[in-house]
Structure 1
Amino acid sequence: MEKDQLQENYDNSRFLSCHLCSAECLEDWPQGWKWFNSKLYYISAGKESWTESQKDCKERGADLVIINSKEEQGFISQFTGPFWIGLSDREREGTWKWVDGTTLQEGQGYWRKDQPDNYNENESCAETAKSNSQKTWNDFQCDEKLSWICEKEG
């Protein structure tokens, strides 16, 4: 009886989640996407450079993840990683921009202690990894091959 109740609760929550998102969500969600706070997230299994990761996200109708809140940062930081996120200072050193063109204001974000540091003057892309802390971001060489997280509207 307890098992049946748990299954019914699961089915009901899945039904509700699907009806809150678009038809595109219904089509894509079961195929590797995770639902959180009205958005869909794809956690890659493969590893690519930052540029190739963003290209893969675009092909999926998404972008590398843009982290807009403490809640979203908490959701993202539960995954082991490291993962590329949609943040870089490739255009101008020290000016961190999201893939949608918005600038991350100085002092904002969830950088690890002493990050970003542009180690060897060769780190222009942001990655994140699981941590007990909210501070998970690190600048890293863009051509390194990491997993990535895509995000799109649900």
Structure 2
Amino acid sequence: MFVGIVILVLNVLRSVSADTWHRLDDALYLVDNTSRLNYDEAHAYCLTRGANLTRIDSDKIQSFLTTFISPPLTTERCFWIGCHDREVEGQFKWLDGTQVRYDGWASDQPDDGRGIQDCACLWSSQDPNRHGRWDDNTCGARLDLICQKGVSLPGLTSGPSVEDISSTFVTVSWSSWIPCLDTGEGPVISYLVYLQTMDGEWVEGGGIDLDMGEGDLQRRMEFVLTGLEPGTEYNISVSAVREGVGGEGPKGPLVSVMTIESGRRFGAFGKGNLLWFLFGVSLAGNILLVVVIMITCRRQGKQQKKKTLPNLTRAPSGYDPKDHQYEVPGPLETGMTTSMKVFREQKAA
């Protein structure tokens, strides 16, 4: 009884969730040991998940898939794969119609038992001659299955922005890959930055490894491309990389930038914009200078008038300026009114 319980526990522990995909290079594999479907049903099941029954055309793939059905259970199981000879007996093809070249068959297989075995499966067996090898079976048998689909590589939908420019380096930044906004599948573990001259090939300029988890959906990434040539135009693009071999997605939209001439430097404001800015500052300064000069001149004129007016006197009444004896009144002495001065002049006469 104890042995039976242990076997039951192992069965539960080894049961693979239908949502668990395993990656190898540029493909994802789903090992399902719970559905128990015939060949056509298994194929339809994989199609609903954007996949097909698996294709095995190398020792690497066969060994990889065998790890998910090992160690073998006491009850033998065989997992449907996308290989059959339904059209011409003995000429096995994959579901895409290509001929099967790789030999993954178990000893003495395929044998077309009873003349009705046209669909292939991968054994999980305690027999070492069968475990991890193929066998042909009747297509109506209800077996487990293995689905396969290509990796949907992550891609950025927006390009980088230029933050700083010098004669030998450029600083760029971009938004991190977001599942609901960008293309492909994650998780993204790093980014690669590429640059290209107008007449050259794309070359890798460096990369950033991430230290964030799935919860960090939005983050601004920044990278400095160094060793650039002064006065040279470059295209810059960024690609997202997911885990595993071949996990790099396509290059995203590019941005073009020209490094400045040696000995000069402009920030992200841009060379052309900076020149216009300096012109505007110069023009505004000249206008301000003219206004200040005008205000200063006006103030000086008013002050001069105030200094001149107290020295002016009014001619006494009865005096005709046209008379040759008329004298222009001089300035009044301190404390003397006009009538007092006239009285003194009359008395002196």
Interval containing the TM-score (normalised by the shorter chain): 0.7 to 0.9
Match in the other structure for 1:104:
100
* TM-score of the two chains, using structure 2 as the length reference: 0.34
**Alpha-carbon deviations, 1:5-27, whole Å to 9, x = none?**
xxxxxxxxxxxxxxxxxxxxxxx
Match in the other structure for 1:56:
45
Structure number having the greater helix percentage: 1
Q: Does the alignment pair 1:94 with 2:90? A: yes
Q: Which amino acid aligns with 1:86?
A: G
State the distance in 2 between where 1:138 and 1:78 align.
18
Q: Percent identity?
A: 35
Match in the other structure for 1:118:
112
**Alpha-carbon deviations, 1:63-95, whole Å to 9, x = none?**
000012110010112233410000000111111
Structure 1 contact 118–140 (Cα < 8 Å) conserved: yes
Q: Does the alignment pair 1:83 with 2:71? A: no
Say which of 121, 142, 145 aligns to 1:145. Answer: 142
Q: Does the alignment pair 1:71 with 2:60? A: yes
* TM-score of the two chains, using structure 1 as the length reference: 0.74
Q: Which amino acid aligns with 2:58?
A: S
| Secondary structure class of the residue paired with 1:72 | helix
| Secondary structure class of the residue paired with 1:79 | helix
RMSD: 1.9
Structure 1 contact 111–135 (Cα < 8 Å) conserved: no
Say which of 35, 38, 53 aligns to 2:23. Answer: 35
Greater Rg by CA: 2
Match in the other structure for 2:231:
none
Q: Which amino acid aligns with 1:96?
A: F
Match in the other structure for 1:136:
133
Structure 1 contact 79–129 (Cα < 8 Å) conserved: no
State the distance in 1 between where 2:138 and 2:96 align.
20
* Segment drifting more, 38-47 vs 50-59: 38-47
State the distance in 1 between where 2:19 and 2:112 align.
36
State the distance in 1 between where 2:137 and 2:21 align.
26
| Secondary structure class of the residue paired with 1:46 | strand
State the distance in 1 between where 2:81 and 2:29 align.
12
- Aligned pair count reads 123
| Secondary structure class of the residue paired with 2:136 | strand
Q: Which amino acid aligns with 2:93?
A: K
Which residues of structure 2 form unaligned runs of 5+?
1-17, 70-76, 152-349
Q: Which amino acid aligns with 1:37?
A: D
State the distance in 2 between where 1:99 and 1:119 align.
22
Which residues of structure 1 form unaligned runs of 5+?
1-29
* Segment drifting more, 144-153 vs 132-141: 132-141
| Secondary structure class of the residue paired with 2:29 | strand
State the distance in 2 between where 1:42 and 1:76 align.
9
Shift of 1:135: 6.0
Q: Which amino acid aligns with 2:27?
A: K
State the distance in 1 between where 2:46 and 2:142 align.
15
Structure 1 contact 127–137 (Cα < 8 Å) conserved: yes
State the distance in 1 between where 2:88 and 2:142 align.
22
State the distance in 1 between where 2:139 and 2:123 align.
16
**Alpha-carbon deviations, 1:84-114, whole Å to 9, x = none?**
0000001111110001110114xx4110111
Higher relative contact order (CA 8 A, sep 6+): 1
Structure number having the greater strand percentage: 2
